[in-house]
Amino acid sequence: MKLSRILVAALLALALVGPAAADSAAGSKPTGTRDFVVTVKEAAYAKGKGPRIAIDEAHNNYQTMDDRFKGFADLMAADGARVAPLRERLTPSALADLDVLVICNPLNEKNANEKKTLNKWMLPAPSAFADDEIKALADWVQNGGALLLIADHMPFPAAAEKLASAFGIVMQDNFAFDAAFTYKPKDMNLMTFHAVPPAPGTGILHTGHPIEMGAHAAERIPFVVSFTGSAFRMKPGVAHAPLLQLGEGSNLAWPSDHVDISLKTPFSAGVGSLQGAALPYGYGRVAVFGEASMFSVNFAEWADNYPTGFHNPQAPHNQQFVLNVMRWLARKI
């Protein structure tokens, strides 16, 4: 990152990272879907006859089914799935009757309490999961279960790092910034991933995977949009399909305090890092993403209720992308 851009970032740290990037997963306050009604033109399953999807709410998750992930839950229900919260530890019995488990932005109690008392998150960010939970989940996926794992910007990747590592995923506790981000007040850090990048700096949506292709031509995804988040990588030798890859000029910020990105904050190039990938694991499937807003319906109150999610008019293909992700995990496509 150029020095001038870092200086601008330093001056705008509170305006940008405090309420903006810091709550890219949800908007600055709980918002639900408000008056937005989620519909699916062509549902994959008869109503209530689809896969059994559980949304983890047992690990101080920043997204919950009744609030920041309501749009996601409504979308799954509209597609015919049976969706419910999971409010108990990950054990063989808790996972036994599920088809897909969704874990979005878990937190260790230490960081959850920081947000409540200090309105910020700071390192260290311990694991949100106990070792026996990680083993139970890995065994379940190994035997045919399916996992959607989402860890947004710092500190969520660190909270999910140990769990992700079991699947060969290297979570990175950063913030991802698009090459075109201007650092102006109220500027949204929209990251666009194109199947055919039309300009330098645009992220890449990799083609050829069922998630990109859908079940037929009308479900094919030309581009998707994310809203800040983080970037991750895979362990060497781990078989995976990259889905969303950061482009030239993108930057990663590595703060220890999520409201304090300044001249002293370490930055690195983001090019080549991933914000989405899919992989087999034994008989099961895993999809992992570094951004949460794109999967739901929320509004950024700090930016005049700007829509952050698949209802954003600049993200017309996000909803189908989310459907494709979940249908792939449920082996519909």
Query: What are the boundaries of each domain within the chain?
Result: 3-329
Tokens encoding 142 = 């190994």
pLDDT at res. 199: 77
φ/ψ (deg, to 5) at 209: -90, 150
pLDDT at res. 185: 67
pTM above 0.85, yes or no: yes
Residue whose C-alpha is closest to residue 222's, from 298, 324, 290: 324
pLDDT digits (tens, 9 = 90+) for 199-247: 777 899 999 999 999 999 999 999 999 999 999 999 999 999 999 999 9
pLDDT at res. 258: 85
pLDDT at res. 165: 98
In the chain, which stretches have pLDDT less than 70? 1-32, 183-186
State the number of CA atoms in the 13 A half-sphere of 8 facing the CB: 11
Which residues, 6+ apart, have CB-to-CB distance to 252 below 8 Å? 172, 174, 175, 176, 177, 230, 231, 267, 268, 269, 270, 273
How would CATH label the architecture of 3-329?
3-Layer(aba) Sandwich (3.40)
